[in-house]
Chain A
Amino acid sequence: MKKCVILDDDQAAVSVVGHLLSQLSNLTVVATYNNVEEALDYLNSNSDIDILFLDVHLPQMSGFALLDVLKTAPKVIVTSSDKNLALTAYNFDLVVDYLVKPLQKDRFIEAINQC
């Protein structure tokens, strides 16, 4: 069972990812966060997280800034409505895929398959 964490300041977006994950077996959502600091605390104290769904435009700091200070190494799937940060995402080894909102189910499964 792969453990997933969702970080997105928009609760509706969290629900969408959660809903997609609920349709796939072997995956479980262990925590969801709307703010970076709490998510960071959780991730840094739980090294067994397999996949992090990460929005990039977040109120306090960017999703990428979180990756810079993260001490654990989950696979990261970026979920964003902003296409322009894909280039930046390539600089982070943890990022395995970059999904543009609105999320498409087929594309979502492709991303999961890479984790």
Chain B
Amino acid sequence: MNCIIVDDQESARLVVRQLCTGIEDLDIIEEFSSAIEAIKFLNQQTVDVIFLDIHMPGFSGFDFVQTIKNTARIVLITSDKELAIEAYEYESISDYLVKPITQERFNKSMAKVKNTLQRTPYLHANLTLEQQQGNDLYINIDRRLTKLKFDDILFIKAKGDYIDVKTHKEMYCVHSTLKKIKDKLPDNIFLQTHRSYIINFTKIIDIEDNSVLIEKNVIPISRSNRPELIRRLNLL
């Protein structure tokens, strides 16, 4: 796992560095005394874990969490015990460690982070991806909120004021637009192939000139969307 440390105090960074040496396969790739510098770095590079101080001059740790468009797991490191409840508001925050931190507690924290990263591999696979909340989407069907796992969705088709969401088993008709659902889907597995279609491109069986096959459904590809699709393929 790659990690960075963001803390305005050198002594605090030193403590984290020492705790990290006790962990196998954890590499500190950079340290930052300024949150702004760390944000610039994260715009260019993906990391697995961010050790983050809450109280920094000019920029709180929570501002930082809201600003970054990275999918790293965040471990807060602080002497302030009072903000744990606020930390639960952010799904990307994996743990909240209060100084002084024992190696035992730190090890436990890293085991938890590792576990989370393994459970959601696509979350940290793509650095340009916006932070996604979870692995699923709730859609409103007959006043019930029905949960769809991203991975179960095959494709989505626009139909006037409605969209059809096709899974392996079902076709859900939802009052929404393609643009709205597109914003809710992780763009590393979903791709628009046509004005009226978004596909889960991990489900593609084969591709012809102007269509893709997903299960038994033939989905059109428009000329303007074709280059992006081809670019994403691992082509021999």
Contact = CB atoms under 8 A, between A and B. Distances in A.
A and B: partners? yes
B187 interface: no
A89 B144 CA distance: 31
B81 interface: yes
B115 to A, nearest CB: 8
B147 interface: yes
Contacts of B179: none
A39 to B, nearest CB: 23
A89 B112 contact: no
Interface stretch (A10-18, A21-29, A57-65): A21-29
Contacts of B108: 93
A109 B138 contact: yes
Given A87-B96, A87-B98, A90-B95, A24 B88 contact: no
B144 A25 contact: yes
B142 to A, nearest CB: 10
A98 B134 contact: no
Chain A: number of interface residues, binned into ranges: 20 to 34
Contacts of A93: 108, 111-112, 115
B145 A24 contact: yes
Interface in B126-169: 133-136, 138, 141, 144-147
A44 B87 CA distance: 30
A56 to B, nearest CB: 12
16 contacts: A23-B145, A24-B138, A24-B147, A25-B146, A25-B147, A83-B85, A86-B85, A86-B87, A86-B96, A87-B84, A87-B98, A90-B97, A93-B108, A93-B115, A113-B134, A113-B136
Given A25-B141, A87-B84, A114-B91, 8 more contacts: A24-B145, A84-B85, A86-B84, A86-B96, A90-B96, A93-B108, A109-B138, A110-B133
**Nearest 8 CB-CB pairs, A to B?**
A113-B134, A86-B84, A87-B84, A86-B85, A83-B85, A98-B88, A25-B146, A90-B96
